[in-house]
Amino acid sequence: MGYIQVLDDLVSNQIAAGEVVERPASVVKELIENAMDAEAQRIIIRITGGGMTSIEVVDDGFGIAADEVELAFIRHATSKLRSIDDLRKIHSLGFRGEALPSISSVSNVVVRTREKDQESGVQLQFRGGLLTKREEVGCPVGTRMMITDLFYNTPARLKFVRSLQTEAGHVVDVVSRAAAARPDLAFVVESDGKGNLETPGDGMLTSVFASVYGVPTTKSALAISLDHPDYVIRGLISLPEYSKSTRNAMWFSINGRPIRSLALGNAILVGYYTTLPKGRYPIVMINMTMDPNLVDVNVHPSKLEVRFSEEKDVRDLLVRAVKEALQAGFAPPFVNTPESRVWEETPVREIVSSYPETAFKAPSYVHAPAISSAKQVSDAQLAMVLQEPAATVVEPRGPQITAQAIRKGQIRAIAQALQMYIVAQDGESVYLIDQHAAHERVLYEKFRQSFQERGKFSLPLLVAITIDLRAHEVQILGKYADKAQAFGLVYERFGDTSIVVREIPHIWEGLDVHRLVNDFLTDLLEERDLDSMLKMEDRLIMRACKAAIKANQTLSIMEMNALLDALSTLENPFTCPHGRPTAVILSRQQLEREFKRSL
């Protein structure tokens, strides 16, 4: 009896559709990519019922040859790729030849297209992937795709579709991201007859920014402009006051292709560090161009995730660029008063920072030695540490008064010493605060709190992260998968040498998951008896803590004060989680004695 059969085309296309076509927005994404590949200048997208009733994409591109339209709807039919070599230098957005057959396998499609040198066009209809009608028609040059009854034959897919508004929102989002990646193209989106987005296609990123976020936000946006021998970066970032509550407004593109990158997002956040309140994220549009050889786009069927060889370089550059743009943007920088810190910023239109070649050398924090080699603390140790304030107070007034000063946020930074210590004062004493220890304390408290509040709940990743490892590492992670899952780290095996991370502990939000998983793995490999849950929790938290500011990292007064403020909210500001002191305090009396001013 034959059990093994080759799937028929409809079934295999529907399976592919499961990967490529998740919701109306994914259909729109594929269709506008095709339009862009066809060199369209203007792309109009009309949807009704959130795209579930109909999706229409009209472009003025070069069209499809009349005798090739049917071919375009066959799996792995593409005009963009001939050999695997082409993949390495791919310039077009599509290349898998999967979108049209996938879409048509789960909907009704009417395609109308005309090539430039043709007098008339053709119109074809497909239902469930099968050609039902073909005729010659009069139509403008370009292509019009009309999709109706999406998912009519795949009820399981339908279940994943949210409210029509939500779906419409995703469609607008997808088009806006494409528009940001290609300011030279004009996009129009209409939902149920109402205009939702219109970009002029004048080549200006500011125009796209204004179309998406409005003029006031745009006027205050800061421009980033970096030229490197290997890549060019252009972007706009918002002032902190225009921040959002999610990461969704941080957009990146490489070579005109919108991408998602947690790493780049994190770099931006590091650049904004301390200028944004907790849980707030900036609006960012960053476009990069680089040699396609340096980018691998074939990581995921929807092509959103990319790998590029100089990611770390780009990350470091972004951190710097954001910092410098923000610093330049706050002009005059800020006025320090004991009660409140006020900075007056003038709206800045185009602050273009250019960087000398030396700026490309790794910034100091990248190579800063990790100074906390102390062993990690258990809950019991922590409880002990929490009881005794270990701030070294070198004078008889005792810790209480000075402790209150820190708690009330009365101390203000005046300088940074040795790139390691914050020099601060209130009216009475001088404080030397170890920036790394202090930040570790702040992070640790924050993480522990969020861990306790949100318990074991994890944060599902929008785009799962694939991590390449060695076979034995994958095995070890496999062994601990259940335990890790109990603390919110959800991953699964993906072949013999990689894992896919789907959810992360809340405390890892905004941090480099790649690195954290690798660190976690190192812990597992080094220590055989990682069996107690408590240890596991500590590992996850402590790993996050390692993200603290390092010694040898230059901080601005603003950053230092933000750190002091954060410290002031803690119950125990005086020790880092390893029990080392965070602050050394010199009182006025102590100083008077030292200088023989008093008896």
CB under 5 to 8 A by kind: which of Mg ion, ligand ADP, none does 61 bind? ligand ADP
Report in angstroms how near the CB of residue 189 gets to Mg ion at its nearest.
Answer: 19
**Which residue lies nearest ligand ADP, judged by its C-beta?**
94
Q: Which stretch binds Mg ion (CB under 5 A): 92-100, 136-144, 387-395, 513-521?
A: 92-100
E strand segments, 405-539 = 412-417, 421-425, 429-434, 458-468, 490-493, 498-505
Q: How many Cα atoms sit within 13 Å of 333 on the Cβ side?
A: 10
* Token pair listed for 332: 């005059």
CB 334 within 8 A of CB 557: yes
* 440 near ligand ADP (CB under 6 A): no
Pick one of 23, 96, 441, 506: the residue that binds ligand ADP (CB under 6 A): 96
* 94 near Mg ion (CB under 5 A): yes
Sequence-ordered list of residues with C-beta below 8 angstroms from that of 120, at least 6 positions apart, any chain: 114, 136, 137, 138, 139
Nearest to 89 by CA among 295, 302, 289: 295
Nearest to 523 by CA among 546, 502, 503: 546
Within residues 72-91, the interface with ligand ADP by CB under 6 A covers 72, 77-80
Residue among 57 and 576 whose Cβ is closer to ligand ADP = 57
SS3 at position 214:
coil
* Token pair listed for 392: 């070294």
Q: Cα–Cα distance between 238 and 223 in angstroms, integer?
A: 9
Q: Which stretch binds ligand ADP (CB under 6 A): 92-100, 188-196, 259-267, 472-480?
A: 92-100
* 56 near ligand ADP (CB under 6 A): no
Sequence-ordered list of residues with C-beta below 8 angstroms from that of 259, at least 6 positions apart, any chain: 252, 253, 304, 305, 306
Q: For residue 455, how many other CB atoms are within 10 A of its CB? A: 11
Q: Which stretch binds Mg ion (CB under 5 A): 86-94, 312-320, 509-517, 583-591?
A: 86-94
Place of tokens 């709940």: 457
* 26 near Mg ion (CB under 5 A): no
Residue 301 — φ and ψ, nearest 5°? -55, -35
Distance of alpha carbon 294 from its chain centroid, rounded?
20
Phi-psi region of 598 (alpha: psi -120 to 50; beta: other; left: phi over 0): beta
Q: How many residues bind ligand ADP (CB under 6 A)?
A: 21
* 143 near ligand ADP (CB under 6 A): yes
* 99 near Mg ion (CB under 5 A): yes
CB under 5 to 8 A by kind: which of Mg ion, ligand ADP, none does 95 bind? ligand ADP
Pick one of 63, 121, 282, 573: the residue that binds ligand ADP (CB under 6 A): 63
CB 395 within 8 A of CB 590: yes
* 24 near Mg ion (CB under 5 A): no
Residue among 38 and 511 whose Cβ is closer to Mg ion = 38
* Token pair listed for 592: 């008077």
Place of tokens 């100089």: 310
Q: Which stretch binds ligand ADP (CB under 6 A): 31-39, 186-194, 240-248, 575-583?
A: 31-39
Within residues 255-294, the interface with Mg ion by CB under 5 A covers none
Report in angstroms how near the CB of residue 37 gets to ligand ADP at its nearest.
Answer: 6
Residue among 147 and 545 whose Cβ is closer to ligand ADP = 147
Q: Cα–Cα distance between 156 and 521 in angstroms, integer?
A: 36
* 64 near ligand ADP (CB under 6 A): yes
* 329 near Mg ion (CB under 5 A): no
CB under 5 to 8 A by kind: which of Mg ion, ligand ADP, none does 78 bind? ligand ADP
Q: Which stretch binds ligand ADP (CB under 6 A): 93-101, 117-125, 413-421, 569-577?
A: 93-101
Nearest to 576 by CA among 556, 539, 555, 548: 548
* 36 near ligand ADP (CB under 6 A): no
* 107 near ligand ADP (CB under 6 A): no
CB under 5 to 8 A by kind: which of Mg ion, ligand ADP, none does 79 bind? ligand ADP
* 35 near Mg ion (CB under 5 A): no
* 34 near Mg ion (CB under 5 A): yes
Q: Which helix (H) or strand (E) holds 341?
A: strand 341-342
Residue among 90 and 583 whose Cβ is closer to Mg ion = 90
Q: Which stretch binds ligand ADP (CB under 6 A): 60-68, 406-414, 541-549, 579-587?
A: 60-68
Amino acid, single-letter form, for residue 127: R
Residue among 50 and 61 whose Cβ is closer to ligand ADP = 61
* 24 near ligand ADP (CB under 6 A): no
* 104 near Mg ion (CB under 5 A): no
CB 278 within 8 A of CB 292: no
* 389 near Mg ion (CB under 5 A): no
Distance of alpha carbon 106 from its chain centroid, rounded?
31
Q: Which stretch binds ligand ADP (CB under 6 A): 61-69, 271-279, 377-385, 583-591?
A: 61-69
Residue among 117 and 453 whose Cβ is closer to ligand ADP = 117
400-432: burial string, b at 16+ Cβ within 10 Å, e else? eebbebbeebbbbbbebeeebbbebbbeebbbb
Nearest to 47 by CA among 162, 150, 181, 133: 150
Residue among 256 and 409 whose Cβ is closer to Mg ion = 256
CB 583 within 8 A of CB 433: yes
- Interacting residue ranges for ligand ADP, rule: CB under 6 A: 30, 34-35, 38, 59, 61, 63-64, 72, 77-80, 94-100, 143
- Interacting residue ranges for Mg ion, rule: CB under 5 A: 34, 94, 99
